[in-house]
Amino acid sequence: MRAVLVVWLFAATIGDADWSDTYWRSVLLEGDTPPEVEWYDVEWPTVAPFVPLDGPLLHVGVGTSTWPRATSNLDMIHTDLSDLPLSRLRAAQPSVRTQVEDVTKMSFPSGQFKAVVEKGTLDGVFMGGLRGAEAALAEIHRVLRPGGVLVSVTAYEGQTGPFISLDAWARCVWHDIGNARAGVRVCTKRLSPGEEL
């Protein structure tokens, strides 16, 4: 039931799951949007207990989140498909590290990050189709170190939505965070044969 509501909400809001400059131009430049918006109303302190805070960390799909302010003391790079929200973020917080990235084909080296965090990014990519969601998950898996974790705030509980194929992960655990719209899924990347943490 939760996923159906989110699909309708995203479809009514953007129609074609376009998260590029076109979307952000309509939201940031032409809309009435406040400077910071939290998808699913999930603040960083709710997610932080699931994240190994000793980095390096990657935040994909930052948009207009407050998470960069809350994580300014961490070794974290915040990415988005569009530079519009990132430039707004840099103007407000010049010390925050940002980078334009397409989560389905990132430029980071394999195994660079101890954790990847996201809030609704995979859900949004999934609105454009399963192929994009699978590509995004594959890229997140690629940039994680063995034993690293994906911490995903998502409306999809269980093996649904963008989490259809979880075979590449050692384990994925769903956490109910008391939010009617979303929960947290923590997926751990498998170690390579013979590898130890």
pLDDT at 13: 32
pLDDT at 187: 92
Which segments of the chain have a pLDDT < 50?
A: 1-16
Among 156, 161, 160, which residue's Cα sits nearest to residue 129? 161
pLDDT at 132: 85
pLDDT at 10: 34
Q: Are 184 and 177 in contact (CB under 8 A)?
A: yes
pLDDT digits (tens, 9 = 90+) for 25-73: 566 556 555 566 677 889 999 999 999 999 899 999 998 889 999 999 9
